[in-house]
Amino acid sequence: MTQNEQDSDNFETRAIHAGQEPDPENGAVMTPVYLTSTFKQDAPAVPRQGYEYSRTSNPTRTALEENVASLEGGAWGLCFASGLSATNALLASFEPGDHIIAGNDLYGGTHRIFRQVYERYGIEFSFVDARDTEKIAEAIRPETKCVYLETPSNPLLRLTDLSATIALAKDAGKMVVVDNTFATPYLQNPLALGADVVLHSMTKYLAGHSDVIAGCLIGNDPALRDRYAFFLNSCGGGLDPFSSFLVMRGTKTLAVRMDRHCENARAIAAYLESHDAVARVHYPGLESHPQHELCQKQMRQAGGMVSVELVGGLEAGESFSTKTRLFTLAESLGGVESLIEVPPTMTHASIPAEDRRAAGMADGLVRLSVGIEHVDDLIEDINQAL
Burial of residue 148 (number of CB atoms within 10 Å: 0-12, 13-18, 19+): buried
- Listed in sequence order, the residues at least 6 apart from 354 whose beta carbon sits closer than 8 Å to its beta carbon are none
Q: Which stretch binds ligand PLP (CB under 6 A): 36-44, 50-58, 175-183, 338-346?
A: 175-183
Shortest Å distance, C-beta 275 to ligand PLP: 26
Count residues binding ligand PLP (CB under 6 A). Answer: 16
Instruction: Tell me whether residue 6 or residue 298 sits nearer to ligand PLP (CB atom).
Output: 298
Q: Which stretch binds ligand PLP (CB under 6 A): 82-90, 238-246, 276-284, 291-299?
A: 82-90
* 204 classed as catalytic: yes
* 260 classed as catalytic: no
What is the CB neighbour count within 10 angstroms for residue 32? 13
Cβ atoms of 201 and 172 closer than 8 Å = no
Instruction: Tell me whether residue 208 or residue 386 sits nearer to ligand PLP (CB atom).
Output: 208
Q: Which helix (H) or strand (E) holds 226?
A: helix 222-235
* 205 classed as catalytic: no
Q: What distance in Å separates the CA atoms of residue 162 and residue 176, rounded to the nearest whole number?
A: 10
Residues 97-136 close enough to bind ligand PLP by CB under 6 A: 107, 109-110
215 contacts ligand PLP (rule: CB under 6 A): yes
150 contacts ligand PLP (rule: CB under 6 A): yes
What is the CB neighbour count within 10 angstroms for residue 46? 8
- Inter-helix orientation angle 375-385/254-273, to 10°: 40
**Catalytic choice (98, 105, 179, 381):** 179
201 contacts ligand PLP (rule: CB under 6 A): yes
213 contacts ligand PLP (rule: CB under 6 A): yes
Instruction: Tell me whether residue 107 or residue 114 sits nearer to ligand PLP (CB atom).
Output: 107
Q: What distance in Å separates the CA atoms of residue 216 and residue 239, rounded to the nearest whole number?
A: 9
Question: Rg of the chain over CA atoms, in angstroms?
Answer: 21
Given the rule CB under 6 A, which residues bind ligand PLP? 82-84, 107, 109-110, 150, 154, 179, 181-182, 201, 203-204, 213, 215
The residues assigned a catalytic role are: 55, 107, 179, 204
